[in-house]
Protein backbone atom coordinates (compact mmCIF):
# COMPACT_ATOMS: atom_id res chain seq x y z
CA UNK A 1 0.00 0.00 0.00
CA UNK A 2 1.44 3.36 -1.03
CA UNK A 3 0.91 6.04 1.62
CA UNK A 4 0.33 9.74 1.13
CA UNK A 5 3.67 11.55 1.40
CA UNK A 6 4.65 15.17 1.79
CA UNK A 7 7.87 15.31 -0.24
CA UNK A 8 9.92 18.47 0.30
CA UNK A 9 13.42 19.30 -0.90
CA UNK A 10 15.83 17.81 -3.43
CA UNK A 11 18.86 17.00 -1.29
CA UNK A 12 20.60 13.63 -1.78
CA UNK A 13 19.94 12.58 1.82
CA UNK A 14 16.43 11.94 3.09
CA UNK A 15 14.65 12.10 6.44
CA UNK A 16 11.47 10.04 6.80
CA UNK A 17 9.00 11.34 9.42
CA UNK A 18 6.25 9.15 10.95
CA UNK A 19 3.64 10.83 13.14
CA UNK A 20 1.84 9.48 16.21
CA UNK A 21 -1.68 8.15 16.58
CA UNK A 22 -4.38 10.54 15.37
CA UNK A 23 -1.73 12.85 13.90
CA UNK A 24 -0.68 13.31 10.29
CA UNK A 25 2.26 14.33 8.14
CA UNK A 26 1.29 17.93 8.93
CA UNK A 27 2.12 17.34 12.60
CA UNK A 28 5.73 18.02 11.54
CA UNK A 29 4.93 21.46 10.08
CA UNK A 30 7.57 23.22 12.20
CA UNK A 31 10.18 20.52 11.77
CA UNK A 32 10.07 20.09 7.98
CA UNK A 33 11.29 23.55 6.87
CA UNK A 34 14.15 23.49 9.35
CA UNK A 35 15.28 20.08 8.07
CA UNK A 36 15.20 21.37 4.50
CA UNK A 37 17.30 24.36 5.57
CA UNK A 38 19.78 21.92 7.07
CA UNK A 39 20.21 20.19 3.69
CA UNK A 40 17.75 17.31 3.97
CA UNK A 41 15.05 16.07 1.68
CA UNK A 42 11.98 15.26 3.79
CA UNK A 43 9.36 12.54 3.33
CA UNK A 44 6.61 12.98 5.90
CA UNK A 45 4.11 10.12 5.59
CA UNK A 46 0.47 9.74 6.59
CA UNK A 47 0.22 6.31 8.21
CA UNK A 48 -2.67 4.01 7.18
CA UNK A 49 -6.00 5.35 8.42
CA UNK A 50 -4.50 8.80 8.98
CA UNK A 51 -4.43 11.97 6.91
CA UNK A 52 -4.85 11.30 3.20
CA UNK A 53 -3.57 7.70 3.25
CA UNK A 54 -5.78 4.67 2.54
CA UNK A 55 -7.86 3.01 5.24
CA UNK A 56 -7.27 -0.63 6.15
CA UNK A 57 -9.77 -2.40 8.47
CA UNK A 58 -7.37 -5.37 8.71
CA UNK A 59 -4.26 -3.35 9.53
CA UNK A 60 -1.44 -4.90 11.55
CA UNK A 61 1.88 -3.44 12.64
CA UNK A 62 3.51 -5.62 10.01
CA UNK A 63 1.22 -4.29 7.25
CA UNK A 64 1.78 -0.71 8.41
CA UNK A 65 5.54 -1.26 8.40
CA UNK A 66 5.40 -2.77 4.91
CA UNK A 67 3.47 0.28 3.68
CA UNK A 68 6.18 2.58 5.02
CA UNK A 69 8.93 0.56 3.35
CA UNK A 70 7.04 0.44 0.02
CA UNK A 71 6.37 4.18 0.09
CA UNK A 72 9.92 5.18 0.97
CA UNK A 73 11.37 2.91 -1.70
CA UNK A 74 8.92 4.39 -4.21
CA UNK A 75 9.92 7.98 -3.48
CA UNK A 76 13.60 7.58 -2.57
CA UNK A 77 14.81 4.24 -3.96
CA UNK A 78 18.52 5.06 -3.82
CA UNK A 79 18.75 7.71 -1.13
CA UNK A 80 20.37 7.12 2.27
CA UNK A 81 17.55 7.47 4.80
CA UNK A 82 17.32 8.62 8.39
CA UNK A 83 13.94 7.79 9.95
CA UNK A 84 12.11 9.48 12.83
CA UNK A 85 8.98 8.00 14.40
CA UNK A 86 6.83 9.44 17.18
CA UNK A 87 4.82 7.28 19.59
CA UNK A 88 2.67 4.90 17.48
CA UNK A 89 4.68 5.94 14.44
CA UNK A 90 7.84 4.88 16.29
CA UNK A 91 6.38 1.40 16.77
CA UNK A 92 5.69 1.23 13.03
CA UNK A 93 9.22 2.45 12.37
CA UNK A 94 10.69 -0.28 14.57
CA UNK A 95 8.92 -2.81 12.35
CA UNK A 96 9.82 -1.07 9.08
CA UNK A 97 13.47 -0.59 10.07
CA UNK A 98 14.13 -4.31 9.65
CA UNK A 99 13.80 -3.89 5.88
CA UNK A 100 14.25 -0.15 5.47
CA UNK A 101 17.64 -0.27 7.23
CA UNK A 102 17.94 3.48 7.90
CA UNK A 103 21.38 4.89 8.59
CA UNK A 104 19.87 6.14 11.86
CA UNK A 105 16.50 5.40 13.48
CA UNK A 106 15.15 7.93 16.00
CA UNK A 107 12.22 6.99 18.24
CA UNK A 108 10.40 9.87 19.96
CA UNK A 109 8.80 9.12 23.34
CA UNK A 110 7.79 5.56 22.55
CA UNK A 111 8.15 2.37 24.57
CA UNK A 112 7.69 0.39 21.32
CA UNK A 113 5.13 -1.93 22.88
CA UNK A 114 1.51 -2.20 21.79
CA UNK A 115 -1.13 -4.25 23.64
CA UNK A 116 -3.09 -6.78 21.60
CA UNK A 117 -6.16 -8.97 22.03
CA UNK A 118 -8.48 -5.97 22.36
CA UNK A 119 -12.18 -5.98 21.55
CA UNK A 120 -12.51 -4.42 18.11
CA UNK A 121 -15.92 -2.81 18.65
CA UNK A 122 -15.04 -1.39 22.06
CA UNK A 123 -11.74 0.01 20.88
CA UNK A 124 -13.30 1.52 17.75
CA UNK A 125 -15.89 3.26 19.92
CA UNK A 126 -13.17 4.58 22.22
CA UNK A 127 -11.15 5.96 19.32
CA UNK A 128 -14.28 7.56 17.88
CA UNK A 129 -14.85 9.29 21.22
CA UNK A 130 -11.22 10.40 21.42
CA UNK A 131 -11.40 11.68 17.86
CA UNK A 132 -14.52 13.72 18.61
CA UNK A 133 -12.71 15.39 21.51
CA UNK A 134 -9.94 16.63 19.21
CA UNK A 135 -11.99 18.18 16.42
CA UNK A 136 -12.07 21.68 17.88
CA UNK A 137 -8.85 23.75 17.71
CA UNK A 138 -10.13 25.88 20.58
CA UNK A 139 -10.69 22.83 22.78
CA UNK A 140 -7.24 21.50 21.92
CA UNK A 141 -5.61 24.76 22.98
CA UNK A 142 -7.51 24.74 26.27
CA UNK A 143 -6.28 21.21 27.08
CA UNK A 144 -2.77 21.71 25.67
CA UNK A 145 -1.62 25.19 26.58
CA UNK A 146 1.68 24.73 24.76
CA UNK A 147 -0.08 24.41 21.38
CA UNK A 148 0.20 27.37 19.05
CA UNK A 149 -2.84 28.30 16.99
CA UNK A 150 -1.45 26.43 14.00
CA UNK A 151 -0.57 23.37 16.09
CA UNK A 152 -4.22 23.18 17.16
CA UNK A 153 -5.53 23.65 13.62
CA UNK A 154 -3.22 20.95 12.25
CA UNK A 155 -4.12 18.44 14.95
CA UNK A 156 -7.86 19.13 14.68
CA UNK A 157 -7.68 18.53 10.92
CA UNK A 158 -5.72 15.31 11.52
CA UNK A 159 -8.43 14.13 13.93
CA UNK A 160 -11.13 14.81 11.35
CA UNK A 161 -9.29 12.52 8.89
CA UNK A 162 -8.50 9.77 11.40
CA UNK A 163 -10.18 6.38 10.85
CA UNK A 164 -10.92 4.65 14.20
CA UNK A 165 -11.55 1.25 12.61
CA UNK A 166 -8.12 1.14 10.97
CA UNK A 167 -6.36 2.02 14.21
CA UNK A 168 -8.43 -0.39 16.29
CA UNK A 169 -7.43 -3.26 14.01
CA UNK A 170 -3.81 -2.91 15.16
CA UNK A 171 -4.72 -4.02 18.67
CA UNK A 172 -6.91 -6.98 17.75
CA UNK A 173 -4.03 -9.37 17.15
CA UNK A 174 -1.18 -10.40 19.43
CA UNK A 175 0.80 -8.07 21.68
CA UNK A 176 3.59 -6.17 19.94
CA UNK A 177 6.99 -5.36 21.41
CA UNK A 178 9.99 -4.16 19.45
CA UNK A 179 13.57 -3.52 20.50
CA UNK A 180 15.47 -0.82 18.60
CA UNK A 181 18.69 -1.84 16.96
CA UNK A 182 21.97 -0.88 18.57
CA UNK A 183 22.97 2.63 17.53
CA UNK A 184 19.38 3.89 17.47
CA UNK A 185 18.29 6.94 19.48
CA UNK A 186 15.28 7.31 21.76
CA UNK A 187 14.24 10.87 22.65
CA UNK A 188 12.26 10.71 25.88
CA UNK A 189 10.06 13.28 27.58
CA UNK A 190 11.15 13.31 31.22
CA UNK A 191 9.03 12.23 32.99
CA UNK A 192 7.28 10.12 30.38
CA UNK A 193 3.97 8.28 30.52
CA UNK A 194 5.07 6.24 27.52
CA UNK A 195 8.71 5.26 28.12
CA UNK A 196 9.17 3.60 31.50
CA UNK A 197 12.42 3.26 33.42
CA UNK A 198 12.33 -0.43 32.54
CA UNK A 199 12.08 0.52 28.85
CA UNK A 200 15.12 2.77 29.25
CA UNK A 201 17.14 -0.02 30.83
CA UNK A 202 16.06 -2.44 28.10
CA UNK A 203 16.99 0.02 25.36
CA UNK A 204 20.34 0.99 26.83
CA UNK A 205 21.27 -2.65 27.40
CA UNK A 206 20.85 -3.14 23.65
CA UNK A 207 23.11 -0.23 22.74
CA UNK A 208 20.38 2.38 22.23
CA UNK A 209 21.09 5.95 23.35
CA UNK A 210 18.28 7.55 25.38
CA UNK A 211 18.21 11.36 25.35
CA UNK A 212 15.94 13.06 27.89
CA UNK A 213 14.09 16.38 27.62
CA UNK A 214 12.87 17.46 31.07
CA UNK A 215 9.34 18.80 31.30
CA UNK A 216 8.43 18.05 27.69
CA UNK A 217 4.99 16.93 26.57
CA UNK A 218 4.50 13.67 24.69
CA UNK A 219 4.72 15.46 21.34
CA UNK A 220 8.05 16.93 22.33
CA UNK A 221 8.59 19.31 19.41
CA UNK A 222 5.27 21.03 20.13
CA UNK A 223 6.10 21.89 23.74
CA UNK A 224 9.92 22.06 23.58
CA UNK A 225 10.86 22.73 19.98
CA UNK A 226 14.34 24.16 20.56
CA UNK A 227 15.24 21.44 23.08
CA UNK A 228 14.03 18.80 20.61
CA UNK A 229 16.19 20.10 17.76
CA UNK A 230 19.17 20.55 20.10
CA UNK A 231 18.82 16.90 21.18
CA UNK A 232 19.29 15.74 17.58
CA UNK A 233 22.51 17.26 16.23
CA UNK A 234 22.59 14.47 13.62
CA UNK A 235 19.66 16.29 11.96
CA UNK A 236 19.95 19.88 13.10
CA UNK A 237 23.28 21.68 13.02
CA UNK A 238 24.03 23.22 16.44
CA UNK A 239 24.27 26.69 14.97
CA UNK A 240 20.64 26.49 13.87
CA UNK A 241 18.88 25.12 16.96
CA UNK A 242 17.61 28.59 17.93
CA UNK A 243 15.79 28.99 14.62
CA UNK A 244 12.30 30.36 15.34
CA UNK A 245 9.47 29.81 12.83
CA UNK A 246 7.11 32.72 12.24
CA UNK A 247 4.06 32.03 14.40
CA UNK A 248 3.17 34.92 16.66
CA UNK A 249 0.82 32.74 18.68
CA UNK A 250 3.54 30.26 19.73
CA UNK A 251 3.69 29.91 23.53
CA UNK A 252 6.78 29.46 25.65
CA UNK A 253 8.32 25.99 25.66
CA UNK A 254 8.08 26.01 29.44
CA UNK A 255 4.26 25.97 29.26
CA UNK A 256 3.63 22.25 28.80
CA UNK A 257 1.50 19.40 29.99
CA UNK A 258 0.97 15.76 29.07
CA UNK A 259 -1.10 14.75 26.05
CA UNK A 260 -2.28 11.55 24.36
CA UNK A 261 -0.95 10.30 21.02
Q: Of 229, 196, 221, 226, nearest to 210 (Cα)?
A: 196
Question: How far apart are the C-alpha atoms of 1 and 48, rounded to whole Å?
Answer: 9
Q: How far is CA 52 from the centre of its chain?
A: 16
Pick the CATH number of 5-240 from 3.40.50.2300, 3.40.50.1470, 3.40.630.30, 3.40.50.1820: 3.40.50.1820
The structural domains of the chain, with segments of one domain joined by +, span 5-240
Q: Three-class SS of residue 113?
A: strand
- Of 209, 214, 220, the closest CA to residue 184 belongs to 209
* Phi-psi label, residue 61: left if phi above 0, alpha if psi -120 to 50, beta otherwise: alpha
Calpha distance 1→151 (Å, rounded): 28
Q: How many CB atoms lie within 10 A of CB 59?
A: 24
What is the DSSP track for 155-192?
HHHHHHH--HHHHHHHTTSS-EE--PPTT-EEEEEES-
Residue 261 CB coordination number (10 Å): 18
Q: Where are the alpha helices (DSSP H) in the chain?
A: 31-37, 61-75, 88-100, 120-132, 137-143, 149-161, 164-170, 197-205, 220-223, 225-230
Which pTM was predicted? Answer: 0.91
**For residues 106 and 93, what is the distance between their CA atoms, to the nearest angstrom?**
9
Q: What order of strands is seen across the sheet that includes strand 81-86?
A: 5-8, 41-45, 14-18, 81-86, 104-108, 185-190, 209-214
Which residues on adjacent β-strands are paired with residue 190? 214
pLDDT tens string, the chain, 261 residues long: the values are 999 999 999 999 999 999 999 999 999 999 999 999 999 999 999 999 999 999 999 999 999 999 999 999 999 998 789 999 999 999 999 999 999 999 999 999 999 988 899 999 999 999 999 999 999 999 999 999 999 999 999 999 999 999 999 999 999 988 989 899 999 999 999 999 999 999 999 999 999 999 999 999 999 999 999 999 999 999 998 544 344 443 434 443 333 333 444
Amino acid sequence: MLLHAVDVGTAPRTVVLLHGMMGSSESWWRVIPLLVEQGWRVLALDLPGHGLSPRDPYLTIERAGSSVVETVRHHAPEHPVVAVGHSYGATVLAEAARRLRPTLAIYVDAGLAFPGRQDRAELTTRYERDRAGRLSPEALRRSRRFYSARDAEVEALAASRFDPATMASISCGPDHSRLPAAGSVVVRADPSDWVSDDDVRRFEANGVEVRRIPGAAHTIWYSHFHEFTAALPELFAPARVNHSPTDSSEPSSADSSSEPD
